[in-house]
Amino acid sequence: MSASVPTGDQERASGGARRAVPEPQAEPVAQTFDLVKVYGSGKTQVTALDHVNVSFTRGSFTAIMGPSGSGKSTLMHCLAGLDKFTSGRVVMGDQELNRLNDKQLTLVRRDRVGFVFQSFNLLPTLTAKQNILLPLELAGRKPDKAFFEQLTSSLGLQERLEHRPSELSGGQQQRVAVARAMITRPDVIFADEPTGALDSKTGTALLQYLRTCVDELGQTIIMVTHDAKAAAFADRALILLDGQIVDDLAYPTVESVNEALVRVGA
């Protein structure tokens, strides 16, 4: 990848300045209000989210962390409109997701949200270029050629655009997935363990690019991860336990994240 951004720890060690965490009054991209998600009923009932109130501002990079079963993936799925919640509100921009029907939710996910998953989720019969442009094709929108070239160049994909996923390395496939998520210029990108299937070097390069997307393009990224090193690339780390946010770390470092995770038994 052409983008190279030092981690928070590296910047502090070298005396570099880190991009400021957006102020609370900055424009919110996504918010939850008393968000509750309950699975099952009776003796098998599980409260995955317990009155969660949180706001994510434009141009921010947030890591969501916590032990297994803490609710981090459920929170992301509810924010992204992938999962219906029991009560409370989720607002994306000026739209309340709980007031939308299935068709309207589909349009929100298509037009306002990008997704990056651990398993890449590329279509095997399509080339890298076709996979990247697929969201625009589904929306009936023409690609911005200049933006496409900028995106694929910055991700180091220009020589691989005619290759199918089976002909790409894991890192290249994940970069295609990132480009696909970015191509619609979404309000927010949700990344679910984006480095989970990558080796350390490739994962670090991907996180550096996500950091650059935030700093230089103003992209908003919400990332679920169990990796403290990944969280150190973010502006903020939310720690969940039993469906509640129990810690909210600004300028997270590997050390501060690990200390917070120890406190919740992760």
- Give 228-265 pLDDT, tens digit per residue: 999 999 999 999 999 999 999 999 999 999 999 999 98
Instruction: Decide: 97 and 188 in contact? Cβ < 8 Å.
Output: no
Q: How far is the CA of 228 from the CAs of 36, 87, 107, 118, in angstroms?
A: 27, 31, 34, 16
Closest CA to 29 of 248, 189, 244: 189
Quickly list DSSP for 136-168.
HHHHT----HHHHHHHHHHTT-TTSTTS-GGGS
Q: Can you state the angle between helices 128-139 and 170-182, rounded to 10 degrees? A: 20
Q: What is the pLDDT of residues 168-208, one digit of tens each?
A: 999 999 999 999 999 999 999 999 999 988 899 999 999 99
Q: Does domain 8-263 have CATH number 3.65.10.10?
A: no
Q: What one-letter code names the amino acid at 258?
A: N
Instruction: Decide: 56 and 31 in contact? Cβ < 8 Å.
Output: yes
DSSP label at residue 227: -
Rg (CA), the chain: 18
Ranges of each domain in the chain: 8-263
pTM above 0.75, yes or no: yes
